[in-house]
Copies of this chain bind each other. A is one copy, B any other.
Amino acid sequence: MDGRKARGEKKRRAIVEATLRVIEREGVAGVTHRSVAREAGVPTTAPTYYFATLDDLLIATLLWSADEICDDMLKIVASGGTAGEIARSLAQAVNENRGRTLAEYELYLLAGRRPELKPAARRWLDLAVELARPADPVAFRAFLAAIDGLLIQGLIADVAPNEDELEPIVSFLIRGRDDSTAVPREE
């Protein structure tokens, strides 16, 4: 094992994390080699060294962000996956984690223009289907679509909705899915 490579891997990840922070703060438009380097506290040319092109850096950030989204979802499912849990998570996403959510959607749209990124962007959707094994696929797809819509609309609301406002909507979507299996399967 080469210690040099290990250190490199670490710095590489630090750069990706810094990129996500830059996007949270200034949007994808604010991502430049220099701004990322400043944020990560590495030399100006480090991002160029680790990522052939600026695009590659954004792609790596999207992939990493996609992983995090999946992790978050697993946590929600693990904690029961009730309407209340989901509503709390959504409320957090558009309030405390507003910047992060905004960043995730900017990266989401990036995938709209890069076919090779699509699988990563929608990984959480596939994972959700796999975990829930919905009895009524149509209702479940409506539910998943509404999640995205609630988040994105929460981002452009004058005051972002809180848990209590979201809960009835989420509840409606779950109930509508199939009354007999109101709660998603646990593991």
List chain A positions with a Cβ less than 8 A from chain B: 27-29, 102, 105-106, 108-109, 111-113, 115, 118-119, 121-122, 125, 138-139, 141-142, 144-150, 152-153, 155-158, 168-169, 172-173, 176
Given contacts A118-B158, A153-B148, contact A102 B108 (CB under 8 A): no
Distance (Å) between the CB of A135 and the closest chain B CB?
A: 13
Chain B residues within an 8 Å CB radius of A119: 158
Assembly of this chain: how many copies? 2
Given contacts A29-B28, A152-B148, contact A109 B106 (CB under 8 A): yes
Chain B residues within an 8 Å CB radius of A152: 108-109, 148-149, 152
Please pick, from B27, B156, B168, the residue contacting A108 in the complex, using a CB distance under 8 A: B156
Distance (Å) between the CB of A10 and the closest chain B CB?
A: 30
Given contacts A106-B109, A113-B27, contact A153 B144 (CB under 8 A): yes
18 inter-chain pairs at a CB distance below 8 angstroms, sorted by A residue, are A27-B113, A29-B29, A102-B112, A108-B156, A119-B158, A138-B168, A138-B172, A141-B169, A142-B173, A144-B149, A144-B153, A145-B146, A145-B147, A145-B148, A148-B148, A148-B153, A172-B176, A176-B176
Chain B residues within an 8 Å CB radius of A149: 144-149, 152
User: Once bound together, how far apart are the Cα atoms of A106 and B107, in whole Å?
Assistant: 10
Do B156 and A145 touch (CB < 8 A)?
Answer: no
User: Once bound together, how far apart are the Cα atoms of A150 and B150, in whole Å?
Assistant: 12
Chain B residues within an 8 Å CB radius of A122: 153, 156-157
User: Once bound together, how far apart are the Cα atoms of A129 and B155, in whole Å?
Assistant: 18
